[in-house]
Every structure is written in C-alpha cells, then in structure tokens.
Amino acid sequence: MPDTRADWRAWLLRRVADPAFQSWAARFPITRLFVRRDGARIFDLVSGFAQSQALRALVELGVLERLTDTPRTAADLARDLSLPPDRMDLLLRAGVAMGLLSLRRDGFRTTIRGAALTGVPGLAEIIRHHDVLYRDLSDPVAFLKGDTAPELARFWPYVFGGNAPPDEAARYSRLMAESQSIVAEDTLAAVDLSDVSHLMDVGGGTGAFLSHALAAHPHLRATLVDLPAVLDAVSPDLAARIARTPRNFREDSLPTGADALSLVRVLYDHADDTVGALLKRCHAALPDGGRIVVSEPMTGGASPHRPGDVYFAFYCAAMGTGRARSAGRIAELLSDAGFHDIRIPRPRRAFVTSVVTARR
C-alpha cells in the first residue's frame, strides 16, 4: 500500500525547493511571513562563519570591554587599536548586528548581551582558541572523509595517553580551568553532594571543579587524580586542602576510599573503548552504593541541538579520538560498566553541560 504521507512530504519538499514557488510564496500574504522568517534563519546559517570571525575580532581587540562604560565613535576607537577607521566601523556595525553592541548618537556601546559574553569565565579564551578549529574545518568535506590531519589532534596530545610535556599540560590546564567555573556551577546545581563524605575527581586538571565543590560543601574530603605534570600546576592553596594522586586513567587503576567520583569534561575526549575501560575502573574504585557523576556537553540524542550536535560533535571529531555523546549513550556505557540507578537530571543550560549520575 502506498505511503501517502511520505509521498505528500516528498511533493511538498520538492515544491518548497522550487525557486518559482519560493518567489510566489514570498509575495502571497499567508506564506510570506513564514518565508521571511525561514529565509532569515537560513541566511543566519550561511553567514555563520563571518559572524564567528567578527566575534573573534571583537574579543581579540577587547572591544566589548572598551565600550562598557562610555560610548565611543569608530574613529576614536580606531586610533587606540591601530585600525583604519573604515574597518573599525565595519567591525562595530557587525557587533551591532549580532546584538553585542548598540549604535547611539554619541557612538557605539556594549549591550547587555555583550556584557554577558565578557562575564562568562573562560569564554574569551575559548573564542581565541577557535583559530585551530577554523583551520581544521576549512575543507569540511575532506574533514568528514578523514582526508585531513586536524591540528586539534596535536593541540591536545594528552588524550592519546601518556604524560604530556609540562608546557602542553599547562596549556591544557589553563584553558580548561578558565572555563570550568560555569561548568562547575551547573554541575553542582544538578547534583546534591551533601551526603558525600569523600569526592574523587578523575581527570580533574588543576582542581577547578574540586575547588567549587569544596566551596559549596566544606565538609568534603577531596582527591584529585590526573597526570603528574597536570597535578604539579595545582595552586598551593588548593593543594593544601586535597590529596593529589598521579595516575594515567587510561592505564592505571584508581585509588579507593571515596564514596563519590566525578568525571567532568573527561569522557568526550575519548573513544568508546577507552571510556568503557575507564568506567570499569571507576566502578572498581567505588564502594557499594557509591555514586559517579558524569558532567560534560552532550548531544541531544533523538532531538539534536546546535551546542552538542554541531559545535561539540565537530570539535571532538577534529580531536581525532573523542566524540560527543547523548545522555542516553552515556547511560548505556555506565550500565555496561556495572552501574545502576542511572539518572539524567534536566540540565540548567545544555550548552554549558549536562549531567548523568549512577550508583555502584
């Protein structure tokens, strides 16, 4: 029996793709509002790369901070930043179009959205770091075919195992720590650690998440597990409050004694076989009833969304070893490792992080 719904859908899509139909729909009163709305959204996708480059220029030049207190003209700001006035005006007007700046009679000024962007910990550093990702995606078809050698695979060499050289470990730790505050905030909002006595953070870098957990729950004992070169960069103040245990979690067993274990932005750096082995080590390290907390950006599963299924999915693919996963897929991996009572709290901001918890 013919699938009339599928036939109708195919006919409709062919009609919508017909330039003559689009021209008619743009004039017809009932359809033109939809055409205008969808057309604007489509062009927003088309111009996305130019927008991201304009954003990077605004961040590199510190424009949003410079225009927070007092409006300034393009010519005035151009003198400070050694840019031609016409190019400064071009950039500032792009900032207005993106909602980061406003244009007033007395000049340009940062908007609420622009101020919010400057207030997100680590966001500016991430935007600056995107030059590597942009180069990796310059030929997206070749990238998807696997015919390129992405720079990100060399930028994060620690994910392939072994101890990273001190300079690489410091670079990784700095970038992660600067953006960890907002991740820690949303993770702790999703998970109640008041009944935990000893928290072990695995792959926790220089302890940014642990420092927030200790601030929220001063009663906690805390253990930080990471590569030796990474642990060497822990601040003296935090080092005095936690136990530091050097481990390569790809190969080494984890210390026991903690009744909760956290993996914050760890799993998406690694392939399924590495993740599966790590989760089994986590299971072995916890006592019966012990809890595991996984927090990282996740894809939308059956409902794909831009943060997880566009940005983080492509970023992880460019790294050459990791992958962004849905909460459902992480739940499956936890179950395979022997965990139960798996829960997926609703994320506060999915573009920041999502959380999956389970018990041994």
Instruction: Determine the pLDDT at residue 160.
Output: 52
Q: List beta partners, residue 108.
A: 72, 103
Dihedral in degrees, nearest 10, Cα atoms 331, 336, 340, 346: 0
Model confidence pLDDT, tens digit, residues 26-72? 776 776 777 678 777 888 888 899 999 999 999 999 999 999 999 99
Mean pLDDT of 78-107: 96
What integer pLDDT is reported at residue 103 of this predicted model? 96
pLDDT of residue 169: 53
Confidence class for position 25, pLDDT limits 50, 70, 90: low
* pLDDT at residue 117 in the model: 93
Q: What are 172-228's pLDDT values in tens digits?
A: 556 666 678 889 999 999 999 999 999 999 999 889 999 999 999 999 999 999 988
pTM, full prediction: 0.85
Predicted confidence at residue 265, as pLDDT, reads 93
259-289 burial: b if 16+ Cβ within 10 Å, else e: bbbbbbbbbbbbeeebbeebbebbbebbeee
CB 285 within 8 A of CB 291: no
Q: Domains, the chain, ranges and CATH?
A: 4-46 (no CATH), 48-119 (1.10.10.10), 143-359 (3.40.50.150)
pLDDT at 175: 63
The pLDDT, as a whole number, for residue 167 is: 60
pLDDT in tens, 249-304: 988 999 999 999 999 999 998 999 999 999 999 999 999 999 999 999 999 999 99
CA–CA separation, 100 vs 276, rounded Å? Answer: 42
Name the nearest CA neighbour of 343 among 305, 311, 295, 288.
295
pLDDT tens, residue by residue, 139-173: 999 999 999 998 887 776 555 555 555 565 555 55
pLDDT (0 to 100) of residue 159: 55
The answer on pLDDT for 134 being more than 80 is yes
Percent of the chain scoring above 70 in pLDDT: 91
pLDDT of residue 332: 98
